[in-house]
Amino acid sequence: MNGKAVAYYRVSTDRQGRSGLGLDAQRTAVANFLAGPAKMILGEFTEVESGKINDRPQLQAALALCRLTGATLVVAKLDRLARNARFLLNVVEGSGEGGVVFCDLPQLPPGPVGKFMLTQMAAVAELEAGLISQRTKAALSAA
């Protein structure tokens, strides 16, 4: 990481956005990750949107700032960015020279090994989203 960061925070529902709890936890994770010398947050972007939705204006604005400044996109947790492997990899590849870092995966190495590991983690996040959806549908139909 080159010292310039753009933070991206996301929660899924208006209720989560209003309570601020999930957002506060993400802000704390990013602040702790960036704590130390010579790191500057150039911008913070917050979205209240389902992870299933790929058209996210705040994410697009964050990525544009990253590309413009060479900053790194910093996200508290992988699943806060996406639970869809293809979308996640498109974001990572379109983030610019600074790339993307996840506070919950700080040891991901750069290069092809890191991309492979990230792809596997994204597939797990996508699986989890599908399982959550199945459980929710089953619970609603039982009720």
- Judge contact between 73 and 98, C-beta under 8 A: yes
Q: Round the CA-based radius of gyration of the chain to a whole number and report it.
A: 15
Cα–Cα dist 111/51, whole Å: 26
Going across the sheet that includes 4-11, the strands are: 40-48, 4-11, 72-75, 100-102
Angle, CA 47 vertex, CA 46 and CA 52 arms, to 5°: 145
Q: Is 141 a catalytic residue?
A: no
Of the candidates 98, 97, 15, 90, which has an alpha carbon nearest to the alpha carbon of residue 56? Answer: 90
CA distance 77 to 70: 21
- What residues are annotated to the active site? 12
